[in-house]
Homo-oligomer: A and B are copies of this chain.
């Protein structure tokens, strides 16, 4: 630790810890020493050490849990986007848990995407996708409420979205457009995705249409930015 080498102490410490994680001194899932212990090991104040940890947290290398400790995060995993939407395969591959279902009114964003008026009825179905026992993504599906009235019941009976949509005459559902951006997660999303609130989520907003080209589903997928990669096959 160079105390006046032009480079901030907290950066040097972050780099040292990053090296430890990369080299396997602290393997994925492992608990790091406490803040007090680490601060003593590097000979700095607890604030300075916390600054370093905050950086590693943003970089997606560790996760901090109040009262428990600091834990090493796992690496990244790929996930396909686009092409055929709602395939039964997608829903079975990783176990999907239904987070929410319900009837809502369209906000400006989903109204514009689906070609509806603000306040029009919207059927919402929200999934938490789990792979290898770890939460990966949250997807909120928005369906036009007038055309898909009763979709929730159909989904509960059929078990998959694709089967439920077939009852409404939707055989093929294609992804027409996807927008990708990054932002900070909501409190609920952060909790479900098991990630810190100050680490960004990658947001993919997709508009899915049926064979006739009319909008079926405006879906918003949030995923831990450093844990996942969206792959677009062209």
Assess whether A82 is in contact with B232, with CB atoms less than 8 Å apart.
yes
State in angstroms the CA–CA spacing of A198 and B76 once bound together.
20
A179 in contact with B225 (CB, 8 Å): no
Residues on B with C-beta less than 8 A from A225 are: 181-183, 200
Task: Tell me which residues across on chain B come within 8 A of A174, comparing CB atoms.
Answer: 234
Q: How many copies does the complex hold?
A: 2
Q: Top 5 nearest A-B pairs by Cβ distance?
A: A182-B225, A178-B232, A180-B230, A200-B200, A181-B229
Separation of A183 and B61 alpha carbons in the complex (Å): 11
Which of the four size classes fits the interface of chain A?
20 to 34
Q: Complex Cα distance A225/B226, Å?
A: 13
Q: Does A188 contact B (CB under 8 A)?
A: no
A14 CB to nearest chain B CB (Å): 11
| Contact among B83, B175, B181, B228 with A230 in the assembled complex (CB-CB below 8 Å) | B181
Contact bitstring A178-205, B, C-beta under 8 A = 1, else 0: 1111111000000000000010101010
Interface residues of A in 152-181 (CB under 8 A from B): 174-181
Contacts of A200 in B (CB 8 A): 58, 182, 200, 225
Residue of B whose beta carbon sits closest to that of A55: B198
A60 interfacial by beta-carbon distance below 8 Å? yes
